A and B are shown apart, each in its own frame.
Chain A
Amino acid sequence: MKTLAKAVNEGYVIAWRNLLGVRRSMDWLFAAVVQPIMFVLLFGFIFGGALGGGQYREFLVPGIIVQALAFNSAFTVVGLSTDLGKGVIDRLRTLPISRVAVMVGRTLSDLAVTVVALTVMSICGLLIGWQIRGSFLDAILAYLLLLMFAFAMCWIGALIGLVVRSPEVAQSAGLIWLTPLTFISSGFVPLDSLPGPLQFVAEWNPITAVMNAIRSLWGNPPAPGTTTLGSESWPVAHALEYSLLSSIVIIAVFVPLSIRMYRRATARQ
């Protein structure tokens, strides 16, 4: 218990350090605030006009929110690889702190950035016609689900950051796999409109599950011209369960993997 309390305390100090860096560097401000606003407005009005106006925008906002949170995991990649490259992590490893403290600190601070981005995007969404039609409790549940998903994505980002080790590569390595993953989903178009194999992938994509789960919880409509959020396949019918499960699995797999990689990565010359 004492060890755990110590690790959490150290993680908190490191998260504080990371967040000071976020507040003082302009690119992070851009990433947490400007980019989400841009996403919502661009997609909302460029696709929105052609695809169904107000109803499309209400359908779109949850998708955009999930995509932006997934993209935020790239900050974890860049943050960790930068610290590795500059020797900050080596320095921290010579201090008598828990080995998980650095990783916990990094993912916590990225989660805090995510909260800011989530708030900004929700306000922005409200301004362009998105709204929460479900109950207060369901709405809170949807936000908690999003945070858990974002936290899980950070740990994937952590592993990538430790593997690539170079901030320059990290930027693209952190984003490249996310672009197809977030687009082959129910984020922007109805699942039914996708060709067969892509539809299958999209249905089983955990990102689709998160998008559909929060749409249900917030009471947002399906895409214009459709009546449901997708087919009758299991992951679509059980979006809430499947999204929870996949976040838990990601955390259970990537936390130990990242911690192992952290020990090894810093042990290289």
Chain B
Amino acid sequence: MTAAEPAVDMAGVAKSFSGHRALEHVDLSIPTGTVLGLLGPNGAGKTTLVRILTTLLQPDAGHASVLGHDVVTESAQVRQHIGVSGQYAAVDVNLTGFENLWMVGRLYGLGRSGAAARARELLDQFRLSDVAERAVKTYSGGMTRRLDLAGALVARPRVVVLDEPTTGLDPRSRMDTWSLVRDLVSDGAAVLLTTQYLEEADQLADSIVVLNQGRVVERGTSDELKSRAGQECLEVSADIEHLDDLKDAMTLIGDGRPVVETHLCRARVSVRDRRADVSALLKLLEERDIPVLDLSLRRPTLDDVFLELTESAQTEGPSA
């Protein structure tokens, strides 16, 4: 492969399960040293895509490759280069942390002492050295997930697939996982990250693909997606008796007519020029003596994007 070739490349991938289309013509690529965030509601096809990429499933159509190796015809080479951490921690609870990692090392073809050294190194890196000799069934959920992640990295893979790596983790463990993903990327790995936490994709992903009902419905950087979801707006709350005055004032600024949500005692208006619009509004509020409770500039969040893009899944009946 050449330097320009992406680490992961999928083109026209489709997969059906007994008539139900799980994936339809999905294209995506992940350049070396970047994170691709895969977003989508439950049943969107994220797991199917992950399973195809990790050689567990064969696509019905299209092709997928890892470092230039086809996932169907060269699955053995693909497995040499990928590290996978699943949605459910697939570690053996009767084994100790050390034994789990040692086994994975041995299965990657490391010798006894080589596998032991690598296991110790990873246990250290994942702050599990203290519990290395304890059976995993005594671990907390966060520790088990960390061990599962460590297992994915035993062979220093160049492509790492993380299927909802922080689901069920406490905030501290989530931050740890994030910094780990950043380290992986700075070492040149390509990472496919599926997540339901939009903040996670926002934090980590260089590019984002949104899947819905087996199709790619949007792709781009986090900022691109947000800007497509709409303009920034100025949101002001006031007591109910001042709402009408507030609305009148807000009509004079911003872009378009203000929207009043009476039940929330709130009005908002899209803005073009933040500074000018905010100071104009503040001046009007002062002149007209309108007391406000709260005033904020709000950019659309990834949640807005996500909800807008995947709304059809919720409204069009069962999809899981």
Contact = CB atoms under 8 A, between A and B. Distances in A.
Contacts of B92: 17, 21, 88
Interface stretch (A63-71, A92-100, A209-217): A92-100
A2 B86 CA distance: 31
Nearest to B15: A269
B56 to A, nearest CB: 6
Contact of B86 (A24, A90, A267): A90
A100 B104 CA distance: 16
A126 interface: no
B79 interface: yes
B32 interface: no
A20 B56 contact: no
B103 A13 contact: yes
Interface residues of B, number: 31
Contacts of B240: none
A266 to B, nearest CB: 6
A87 B88 contact: yes
A90 B107 contact: no
B103 to A, nearest CB: 5
A258 to B, nearest CB: 18
A87 B94 contact: no
Could you say which interface size class chain A belongs to?
A: 20 to 34
A269 B22 CA distance: 10
A107 to B, nearest CB: 17
B79 A10 contact: no
A88 B90 CA distance: 5
B84 interface: yes
A260 interface: no
Interface in A202-249: none
B contact patch SS: mixed
B99 interface: yes
Given A10-B107, A93-B56, A17 B95 contact: yes
B57 interface: yes
Interface string A1-42: 000001000100110110011001100000000000000000
A10 B79 CA distance: 15
Interface string B64-102: 000000000000100110101011101010110001000
Given A20-B99, A87-B86, A97 B135 contact: no
A13 B51 CA distance: 25
B168 to A, nearest CB: 14
Contacts of B108: 95-96
A269 B106 contact: no
A6 B108 CA distance: 11
Interface in A54-89: 86-88
B84 A96 contact: no
A94 B54 contact: yes
List 3 tightest A-B contacts by C-beta distance, closest first: A91-B90, A21-B94, A87-B90
26 contacts: A10-B107, A17-B95, A17-B99, A20-B94, A21-B92, A21-B94, A24-B94, A24-B135, A87-B86, A90-B86, A91-B86, A91-B151, A93-B55, A93-B56, A94-B54, A94-B55, A95-B108, A96-B76, A96-B79, A96-B80, A96-B107, A96-B108, A267-B57, A269-B22, A269-B47, A269-B51
Given A87-B86, A87-B88, 5 more contacts: A10-B107, A13-B103, A91-B84, A94-B55, A96-B108
